[in-house]
Structure 1
Amino acid sequence: MADTHQTMCSFELFVEYVRFDDPQANNLKPAVSVRLLDFPTLLICPPENRNDGLSKPEPSIQTRGNGHVYYFNKGKSCLFKINLDSFHTHLSRTPLYTMALDVRDDIPKLMGSSLISLARLASSIKLAVDQHGIWPPAAYGENCVCRLLNLMGENIGTVSLACKMVSLGASLIPHISESKVDELHSKPKH
């Protein structure tokens, strides 16, 4: 029965840090880009190090061993309407594509990437909907530290992130028009 219903979903991603093993990685301007299914790519940049005189600025980069850790402690979210069965099928077969970029120049440089399975999150939400119906919300998330591989398949570091998938339930759909979802989706989140 759940496979015939649309639901509002929220995908939330929080990037804690990116660690590069290369000792020369201390002068990068990193960003993390993620691609969920066919939705627009989300770009997350670390906060700018500002000294406003009111608070002590936190270091956004630390040297660890031979490598460097860039702290983001930032995230983004997106809201979308999808058929629950389609949602489960697609996320069971298609990973979240995560890319670490160097955005110092006008054209970003791909440093490394990682494929992260969201099949367990999708299955947990589908199971909750099968047990409790399409109307109540269901939320599941997980933290992971994933290897970053360069284009040659060599390990260049890690990315630490948290993903949360929320089915907001079908009861929300009549209250949000398509134009409102598009408007919410196009607003930058800081």
Structure 2
Amino acid sequence: MKILQAFLIMSFLVLSACSNLSRSYGLTTLSHNRISENEFPIDSKLYYLSCNQNIRIAVVAGTVKIDNNYEGYDGYQEFVSVTTEELITNYEHHLLDLSKYFQKYAFNLVNRREVNRVLNEYESSNLAFVPEDLREKIGAETTATHILLMNFSRNYDDRSHAIDTIERQLINVATGSVEAADYLKVRNSISPL
């Protein structure tokens, strides 16, 4: 019974911490309010994993792209670069905030320079998924237990609205299995590049 009570209290604390996520990506700010307890499956999975093991997460930005109509325009590469950095930075901050509620085992982020070094050696760009050899290399060289892969896209439905989509996958380095995934889609009022 005490375990159930502790679980309910921790669930409430973790979900309360995630209730109002506000993140900036390139030219806009995405706001996402929690409306159901299963809305953040990656955060919940990390909490449950932290009850049984030490966790080291390598945050990797996969595919970052905007509407094909804007590819090649001035500002496109800058948008991709800035968005990639902001995606990683903001989610690392979110994970560190979340880790304050993890009590039993250690929760660490792999140093971004280590991850970037492995990615540069692999000559990866625009990863939509993590190939097995890259996953093994990240695990061996950074001692990561999990990879958090984030893909971002922006499409314009008219001249004043952008639809931003973020897909996240929590990948177990040892097995290659996707342990949790989530998807965020937001329509923003914004001017194109």
Give the TM bin, normalised by the shorter chain. Answer: 0.3 to 0.5
- If asked which structure has higher relative contact order (CA below 8 Å, sep 6+), I would say 1
TM-score for both structures, normalised by structure 2? 0.34
Structure having the higher helix fraction is 2
Structure having the higher strand fraction is 1
Larger Cα-atom Rg:
1
